[in-house]
Amino acid sequence: MSGRDLHPFITNYRAEDVEKLTLRMKNGLGSTKYKPAEYERLQAIVDAKRLESDQIGQKVQKTRCAAKATKESSILRQHRQVWSRECPRLQKAEEKAENDVHDFLEQIRPNDRLDTAIFSLQDYALVLEREREAFRVATVEPVHQLKDDLCFRLDEVQHEQLTVHRSNWEQVIQQINFVKDQQDGINAKLDAEYLALEEEIIGLGLEKYLSSTSDNLVNIENIPEEVLDSDCPYPELKDSLIQAFYSLSERYQSSLQDLQVKLQRADRFCGWCADEHQRFQFTSSQYTQDVPNHRALYMDMLQRLFPEKTRQDLMEHERAWDWQRFTQAQLRVLTQQWQRDQEELLARALVTLQEARHAHQEELELHRDRQHQQDICSHLREKLRQWRAQQEEVAKLEAVIAARQREEEEARLKREQEKETAIRSQQKEKVRQFYLKQKKKVEAMEKRDQERLANLRSIMEEQARRDKERVQFRSDMLQRRREEREARQLERQREEEEKQHRLEVLRNQVGVVAEADPERMMADTEAWRSRHLNVKEFELQRPLYSINTYTDTQIVSDPRVRAEQALREAGLHHSHYAKEVLAVIKPPKPPRRDTKSILKF
């Protein structure tokens, strides 16, 4: 019980007023202090408040649903735009692949009469074409015919309003269900054949032939045959050229091995299964940089495709895949650089060998001395050393550029992560500002309620003071009336005694001396009989209705009344201590459930 509920029990009457109030309630008299509760009006107010709350909740729920539906439709519209752009590209790629296969089958020619594999491929292509046409005729054509038949029947019923027997429609429905079951079986069979064919292709191991890089692209012993088998008149020059190829291969071999080790350590599918990783790649290729809001659409589509994955898992997989692609790109670029440098070195080596041969021919022809030969060799060696220094400088610069590109890629990824973190922090700040605004609004309402409560309490205290003064005035007036009534009673008693004394004197004067006749004395007189001849006996009037109320014993037995009376006698019934004590005391009988209310007025 709260302090507000205690006001009906805190009265301003004194202890002697309890019996008076009890008598008034027993006699059925009204009281201006206690008024009957208007349950119907309170119930109407409660129903109105509840209805208003339900309507507000429905409006809020409807607004949320509308906002969610609008956002979902906008996202789906953007997804459809992306797909409408991607679908023609895929169709063109499919047509190009089919044309390439067809051109390949047409261009290949057998090597001899025994080469029957080519004819087998062509025959197999014709067989596949015939099987496809037979499958279309057996499965697709009946479905189109059934569709056309149903459209014709529906148009006939809608336009002509013909009454068709129910059994005919049941036959049509059975036919439709049969076609559905047949198509489901065909689709299941096609899916099983697709999976079996995919597993067979994977088992052949064709992926190693499709990869752009290989593990043995750079081999230390891979020296061109033109250099090894060349007829060089200068063995030192040939050895230096071979050593140049060795140094070039060793320089690129270390970098390539590092990149290959990184790729071997990392999972090919970045920790996911092959199917999920393939779908992830296709989705990423659809949402390119030129698509507006591509990042949000890209993450939304990934979350739709992988509902069991969290956003953090998707971002980690994306970073792993970006790092894998970057490593593969580095490996591809480094391999291309090695091939280019090897071709340049081979060209220079061939030129050098040709120059050496020409020099040797000139030496043999002109019979130059050995010093001239050494000068030529030293000159060529110096040129080779300069070229090697240039190649090493180029390799260093390319390594620096690759490292700078890697740092830029890492910085870009870091900026994107920081941008997403900033967006998330802004959203959290908006939520926090919203909750602070709601909290301030609630505090303002509580402050307004507290001010209203303080105002009401001051009004009630003023009313209590006035009631106390009124009660004191009434008690003083009652005391004066009681004293006046006692004085009048004493005066009437004195007058009665004087009257009795005078009557006694008169009785003594007019006393009758007669015999005692008790029967005559107690009998009815003739005058009385004539007066009450037609009058019925007095009937005690009963009350018009029964009064169901509290008795004085029940009221006095309430511990709250006794505690309030004791506090009033002690002069503490308006103190804070009295409110706390009365709030703790329980009634002798708990209130009924229908009298409780969750609303606060």
Average pLDDT over residues 150-159: 75
Tens-digit pLDDT profile for residues 83-107: 778 788 888 888 888 888 778 777 7
Residue 472 tokens, joined? 């004191």
Contacts of 272 (CB under 8 A, 6+ apart): 280, 317
Residue 349 tokens, joined? 């080596």
Tens-digit pLDDT profile for residues 422-435: 898 888 898 889 99
- Contact (CB, 8 A) for 565 and 581: no
Contacts of 41 (CB under 8 A, 6+ apart): none
- pLDDT reading at 48 higher than 50: yes
Integer Cα distance of 287 and 79 in angstroms? 9
Confidence of residue 29 (pLDDT cuts 50, 70, 90): low
Residue 246 tokens, joined? 């060795």
Average pLDDT over residues 34-54: 81
- Considering only residues 161 and 490, tell me which one the structure prediction assigns the higher pLDDT: 490
Contacts of 231 (CB under 8 A, 6+ apart): 357
Write down the pLDDT at residue 492: 92
Q: Give the number of other Cβ atoms within 10 Å of residue 175's Cβ.
A: 13
Average pLDDT over residues 463-490: 89
Helical (H) or strand (E) element with 241 = helix 235-265
Average pLDDT over residues 261-275: 67
Tens-digit pLDDT profile for residues 195-204: 888 777 777 7
Average pLDDT over residues 478-506: 91
Write down the pLDDT at residue 367: 67
Taking each helix axis from N to C end, the angle separating 370-510 and 311-366, rounded to the nearest 10 degrees, works out to 170
Write down the pLDDT at residue 109: 62
Tokens 């149903």 label which residue? 150
Q: What is the mean pLDDT of the chain?
A: 77
Integer Cα distance of 122 and 117 in angstroms? 9
- Contact (CB, 8 A) for 357 and 232: yes
Average pLDDT over residues 537-544: 54
- pLDDT reading at 541 higher than 70: no
Confidence of residue 118 (pLDDT cuts 50, 70, 90): low
- Contact (CB, 8 A) for 456 and 600: no
- 71 φ/ψ sector (left φ>0, alpha ψ -120 to 50, else beta): alpha
Integer Cα distance of 239 and 230 in angstroms? 12
**Looking at this protein, which amino acid is placed at residue 314?**
L
- Residue 515 CA, distance from chain mean position: 116
Integer Cα distance of 287 and 309 in angstroms? 19
Tens-digit pLDDT profile for residues 374-402: 777 788 888 888 888 888 888 888 888 88
Write down the pLDDT at residue 216: 43
C-alpha closest to that of 12 among 460, 562, 552, 468? 468
Tens-digit pLDDT profile for residues 196-236: 887 777 777 665 555 544 444 445 456 777 777 677 777 78
Q: Give the number of other Cβ atoms within 10 Å of residue 122's Cβ.
A: 13
Write down the pLDDT at residue 495: 93
Residue 365's alpha-carbon distances to 354, 360, 375, 587, in angstroms, are: 16, 8, 17, 137
Write down the pLDDT at residue 484: 92
Contacts of 247 (CB under 8 A, 6+ apart): 388
Tens-digit pLDDT profile for residues 292-321: 776 777 777 777 777 777 777 777 777 777
C-alpha closest to that of 237 among 379, 386, 390? 379
| Domain residue ranges in the chain | 225-412
| Number of residues assigned to the chain | 601
Q: Give the number of other Cβ atoms within 10 Å of residue 586's Cβ.
A: 9
Integer Cα distance of 417 and 502 in angstroms? 123
Average pLDDT over residues 537-541: 50
Integer Cα distance of 255 and 246 in angstroms? 15
Average pLDDT over residues 248-269: 72
Confidence of residue 532 (pLDDT cuts 50, 70, 90): confident
